[in-house]
Amino acid sequence: MKIGFFGAGKMAEGILSAIEDKTSVIMAEKVEARAVELVKKYKVVTTEDVKTVALTAKTIFLAVRPQDVDAVAAEVAPLLTSAQTLVSIVAGKTLAKLRAAFGEKVKLIRVMPNLALRANAGMCAICAAPNAKKADVKLVEKILGGAGETVVLDEKHFDAVTALSGSGPAYFAYMEEAMMEGGVALGLDPKVARLLAEQTMYGTAKFLRESQMALRPFIDGVCTKGGTTAAGMTKLDKPAFKKMVAATLAAAAKRSKELA
């Protein structure tokens, strides 16, 4: 079974690093220096020609930027067959648009990943076109599962997924920045403040995932009456904060819809 990539950028590398047998991978990348880097690092086969991948791989990840999709499709659509699966990670490209671009034969799966793929802690939502088989979806779940968590969802949820987990890394990093700046304002060195903020964010997520504890009792548990966290929460726990977060996600979801 050969796994192919159209485009070998940041996200493709995140997926590649989770694939155990890298001898089964072929990647098309037009930036030569980037291809050389990946060959050195992972010993994968690269080519500058997307057609070579279309002619060799059974499961192919479409990992170019949205504006490059049509150019790739123009080259490979006539070559793709019903025995192949095209797995698009391109933000905003719907299954209908992918079908129009890549032809009627190829099996289609759409994935919304996030940047945390690169740390093997990604979040990928997966949806499949009617012609994709259960086994195709299972294979994609297995590959992406090596790079984090996966969830299979109806495509109608993809704008929400894009807003929450797709764009989410930037929002959490922004919160980290705010926590770091708050620490610096209290006299901490910026490097120390960043470590404190980041490890706290990471550790909290890890504990919540491992314990599966409900959020409200967790929050209440940290906020002991008369304590420091409770004093801090008097500033944060306002309806305006949750409204702002909801509006942030709504704006991102609206933009995702517009781009589709």
DSSP annotation of 133 reads -
The candidate with the shortest Cα–Cα distance to 109, out of 101, 98, 118, is: 98
CB of 254 to ligand NAP, least distance (A): 17
33 versus 135: smaller Cβ distance to ligand NAP: 33
Q: How far is the CB of 141 from ligand NAP (least distance, A)?
A: 17
Measured over the CA atoms of residue 185, residue 189, residue 194 and residue 199, the dihedral's sign is negative
Of 65 and 191, the one with the shorter C-beta distance to ligand NAP is 65
Report CA 7 to chain centroid distance, whole Å: 15
- Shortest Cβ 147–ligand NAP spacing (Å): 12
**Please, which residue, 3 or 193, has the CB nearer to ligand NAP?**
3
**What is the 3-class SS of 135-172, one letter each residue?**
HHHHHHHHHHHCCEEEEECCHHHHHHHHHHHHCHHHHH
Query: Smallest distance from the beta carbon of 75 to ligand NAP, in angstroms?
Result: 7
* Shortest distance, position 176 Cβ to ligand NAP, whole Å: 16
Q: Which residues contact 236 (CB under 8 A, 6 or more apart)?
A: none
Q: How far is the CB of 218 from ligand NAP (least distance, A)?
A: 28
Residue among 110 and 193 whose Cβ is closer to ligand NAP: 110
Report which of 89, 138, 141 is spatially closest to residue 114, judged by C-alpha positions: 89
CA dist 258 → 165, 182, 191, 248 (Å) = 18, 36, 39, 16
In the complex with ligand NAP, the residue whose CB is nearer, 72 or 193, is 72
| Residue (50 or 137) nearer to ligand NAP, CB | 50
Shortest separation between residue 116's beta carbon and ligand NAP, angstroms: 9
Q: Which residues bind ligand NAP (CB under 6 A)?
A: 7, 9-12, 28-31, 34, 50, 63-66, 68, 71-72, 89-91, 113-115, 166
Residue nearest to ligand NAP (CB): 9
In the bound complex, what is the minimum distance in angstroms from residue 30's beta carbon to ligand NAP?
A: 4
Task: Return the amino acid letter for 164.
Answer: L
Token pair in block for residue 149:
């968590």
Report angle CA 172, 240, 125 to the nearest 5 degrees. 40
Nearer to ligand NAP, 11 or 252 (CB): 11
Largest CA distance in the chain: 69
Report the chain's terminal Cα–Cα distance, integer Å: 32
Nearer to ligand NAP, 4 or 7 (CB): 7
The residues, ordered by sequence, that sit 6+ positions from 9 with a Cβ below 8 Å of its Cβ are: 29, 34, 63, 64, 65
